[in-house]
Structure 1
Amino acid sequence: MDAIRSAVATLLLSCSPALNAAELLYIFDAQCGACRAFDRDIGSIYPKTEEAGIAPLHPINFKEVHGKIIALEDRQVQLDAAIVGTPTFILINDGREVDRFSGYSRDELFWMSLQRLLNRLPSPQ
């Protein structure tokens, strides 16, 4: 599984500089057990992965989300739908939501779900 993940991430990184416009928003709540498990299992290693080169992780406290708008440091992101639970992972590209998934139970499921999101990024022109 790691070899496949690595090969796909390498291919995506080499194909398009536009992919650098992607970000993975991580909506969390400090009281959320699944969020704490994600932080423990994935949070510290994610920045070292090839996926982070495609879509850097951007943690956002659920309390900072206002309806379908997330205010980032330098801009606002309009979401397709409101956040209903944590953790929620939202892939954005050029400021627009591409896709999302919610929940965390195991690292393998996170990586598979993330790969599904990354596969939705636009192909290079």
Structure 2
Amino acid sequence: MALGFRTAVFGGIGALALSLLSISAASAQELRLLMIEQVGCYICAAFNRDVAPAYEASPEAQFAPLIRADLRGPLPEGVTLTSRPFVTPTFILLDASGTEVDRLIGFPGQDFFWPYLNQMIDNALADTTG
């Protein structure tokens, strides 16, 4: 999709928004956003302060609920990554089987986070719907 998910929902682009909303609830629950973080990470703290509360209430969270894991701890059960993260925060989009489909390393602020995340979700939904 040329336009991001957030643009489609909030920008009033009717046909695109309707197509996204018509995706079944099962498809929406197939994605998860894994945040790799660690204690003492000031960038993780900035994300948790500035973005996490808005994320939980966002349309993006409906398509990819946020889950978390510690950088040096075990991954959630069933998660398969292309490589072990080494930077915090790292955001990894997972499909229904828990396999990594895309990754954002770091958090350079919400102005970059939202468009990149939306592109990740758009790409994943396009792969699952056609």
| TM bin (shorter chain) | 0.7 to 0.9
Compared with structure 1, are the counterparts of its residues 47 and 10 closer, same or farther at alpha carbon in structure 2 (3 Å cutoff)?
Answer: farther
> Aligned with 1:110: secondary structure?
helix
- Alignment pair present for 1:124 and 2:129: yes
Structure 2 unaligned blocks of 5 or more: 11-15
* TM-score w.r.t. length of structure 1: 0.82
In 2: Cα distance, 1:80 partner to 1:90 partner: 10
Whose strand fraction is larger, Structure 1's or Structure 2's?
A: 1
* TM-score w.r.t. length of structure 2: 0.79
Residue type of the alignment partner of 2:38: D
Query: Aligned match of 2:104 in 81, 101, 105?
Result: 101
In 2: Cα distance, 1:55 partner to 1:62 partner: 20
Compared with structure 1, are the counterparts of its residues 76 and 123 closer, same or farther at alpha carbon in structure 2 (3 Å cutoff)?
Answer: closer
Q: How does 1:21-100 map to 2 (within 5 A)?
A: 21-65=30-74, 70=75, 72=76, 75-94=77-96, 95-100=98-103
Report how many residues are paired: 118
After TM superposition, give the deviation of residue 20 of structure 1 in Å.
1.2
In 1: Cα distance, 2:58 partner to 2:107 partner: 18
Q: CA RMSD in A?
A: 2.3
Structure 1 unaligned blocks of 5 or more: none
Residue type of the alignment partner of 2:31: A
